[in-house]
Chains A and B, each alone.
Chain A
Amino acid sequence: MGVFLSYALPGIPSGCAVALLAIGLVLTYRTTGVLHFAFAGQAYIAGLIYAVMVRDGHGTAVAAIMAIAIASPIIGVVLDFALFSRITRATATARVVVSLVVLFVVEQVPSFVISSDTVYAPPPLLGSSATAFTISGTAVSTQSVGTVIVALVSACIVAVVVRFSRLGLEMRAAVESTRLLELSGVRARPVTSAAWAFSSLLAGLAGVLVAPTLVTVDPTSYWVLFIGGLTAAVIGGFARFGWVLGGAIGLTVAIAVLDGYLPQGTFFETVIGPGVPFVLLAALISFHPGMKALLAPTDPLAGVDPPLMTAVLTSRTSRVERGIGGAGWAAVVLGFLGIVVFVDPATVFTIATGVALATVLLSVTLVTGLSGQLSLCQVSLAGLGAFACGQLDARYHLGFYLGALLGGAIAGAFATLVALAAQRLRGLSVMLLTVAFALLCDQVIFPWTFVGGGYSGVSMPAVTLPGIAVTQSSRQVLVLGLVLFTCCGGIVNRLKRGSVGLFLVALRESEAGAAAVGVSPARVQVVTFATAGVLAGVGGAFYGSLQGIVSPASFNIEIGLLWLVAVCAIGVQSVAGALVAGIAVAFAAQPVTGGITLSDWALWLQIGLALAAITYAWHPEGVVEQARGATTTVTAALGRSRRQELRSTEVRA
């Protein structure tokens, strides 16, 4: 018993901090309809403010008040005012994308404001490491007791406010329809702002309580905290605060106990143990009754709204579209020819990397752009393709081409498994399942030496061309990348213009309408995920081959978020969008030597991508499609006026 408690008890305070974040997540979802990934960043900011202020000589109470009671609610209210209150009619997918952008931006903000030195863990806000009491020989510190009390009191306050107070009732009404709420005589804006402030305060509180338990205050630690919170929120079905609290504590304690009992240094300790929370998360999402259709609530008054305009065009003239498309691709080909002939090898390598990423992003085009389903595991599927290619070459000397094909097939098989697990799920629940799979890959599958090669990573087979000596920065590799991208892009375009494309668009725009004509969402989901998995796997293998060595860090979920944000910003519905996004990401991540420093280019490009991604809520077609649509409209209008001119000339004649 004593041994068990020595493992279990330290997990309880951490579980309480996780619970606070989870309660904030559920509160925001229940009151605003936003599944807010950026809470990870907001908790990080609060923890950082607290740590930096204490480091700079302020008292812990003052620092805590600044971080929890002032900065956190202000961030929440600003996010609501500047972003989320303006996209209430956007799809749930669009709101998640915006939330991911906020996470991405929030994590970058401190690098502008404070010095780049590492920020070490601050002293605890409540209590100290001194022993308050012992249970069966296990010492419990006053800090742990304080954390548990704060978490329990906070959870009770939230439950009482949401369930029994007038503000809670108004907040619950606001998520259904702010217009109905206003028709009842309540101003909706202060209500949603209050919800954001309240939930952000909880995120801040969690951030401050966790900061002293970390080695350094960094975004990655808070991302781990957020994942725990997400799992707890799923345990509570994004509804029951008691279950969320119990789930968070239970989960953290279970992990601590498992970690303690599993034999150190064995396969169970390194692979099975860390995988349990993510397998549990996936299982909960797949089978929890409350997770079957985690959809953003729809406004009951939406029935009287006109249909949303999704296209600039009012009618399609295939000749005009083909003309514009042909001219665009001709410009791209000419541009690449110019690059192949004139540009230096370093830039050729960056562009080739971009083309490889673009091939991976084509899988996002298929899943998110055409079917409207957000998947955060495409980067993991790319990783599976790359690792499979590398390991097959290391073991059986298959070379790049056969390895990439088999890597694609393996990634496709895993994607099919994800789709099958998501058979009974719809909406945000499918997205959460992809998060669970990505985390399973990050924490378990990729760190396994058999797959990810351990700390040294996996050596990838080089691209070879018969009779030609090529290096990673050879122009021939770029050309090969373009051929691969063209083939994969051709597949996406053929699916887009064929039956699969029609089915996907139908499901994206009206699942009820699609079902009414006989389209089965489950079947289409499997076909889409499997095909996208193959594309991601093949693209990942090519990307890995260009890198030479790939490690688990090459394909973690945070990198995947950057890729997703980029492609959503630039154009998630078209092959051209994937190409531009891939190259933009490659330039944002690659050093550019010369007069302009690397950080300048990369930073500004990342800021540009983030700003463009925020527009996704209003323009899901992305920058490339907006430009293409506008060009087509102008050309069509010019064509019409020319035809009218000809007609009037005929009449006059």
Chain B
Amino acid sequence: MNHFPEAWGRPRNDVYGAYDHSYLQTTGPKAHTSSPAVTGTSVVGVKFNGGVAIATDNLASYGSLARFSDVKRLRTFGDKAIVGFGGDVSDMQYLDRLLASMDINENYSPRGNMLNAKNLHTYLAKVFYKRRSEFNPLWNHVLVAGFDGEGEPFLSSADLLGTTFSAPHLATGFGAHLAVPILRRKFPEGMPLEEISQEDAVQALKDCLKVLFYRDARSIDKYSIAVVTKDGIDLKEDEQIQGQSWAFAERIKGYGAQTV
């Protein structure tokens, strides 16, 4: 998997060979929605005993430029579901409006919004798939956190192609490379959810975000973190990565103006 959002959904060069651009027309159909512009990087999520924790940093990059450093990429839906957005920020804003109108619509019924995280994830995956089938994809990779119809903790991903994936812990973008191995070490396969406490899950996310800040050049040290439990959502949007140590950077050579 390639962590650059602009490469998502494209045939891999190392598998299919370089794309033959002679097939591309310079004139033709509108193409400005077929690559992301302002992007958010990884989303990380972990299920624990009685809920789900999910986190993103607060940066929206314009290419490699850290363009907007205060963009909240976690959105609540109803009182027990959270969506974490990676990828294009304008498409995130579109989906946010879509979900807001859906929430209003749901609240017309006497019992209020009864859509749970699983319903929401199914819906989002359909929206993504519809849009990619129209060759007008929403350039996002999202994690949906909350509860399913049985009241069990729910965490699942959906991407710009409508692909869905589910696991006890998930990460999108660069996090799929850097955060998932950390999470797999902390919470090995087969470890029952009952043995993972909320504190462990939150701490694991913080550790992941720190590593991501160290090594992902599209990240920032300000982040949002949300914990969904039966009691509701605890969303914090102005957090700061604590206890950084850049000592390891001393040993890194080969970049910038240094002459070894």
Instruction: Indicate, yes or no, whether A interacts with B.
Output: no
Interface residues of A, Cβ cutoff 8 Å to B? none
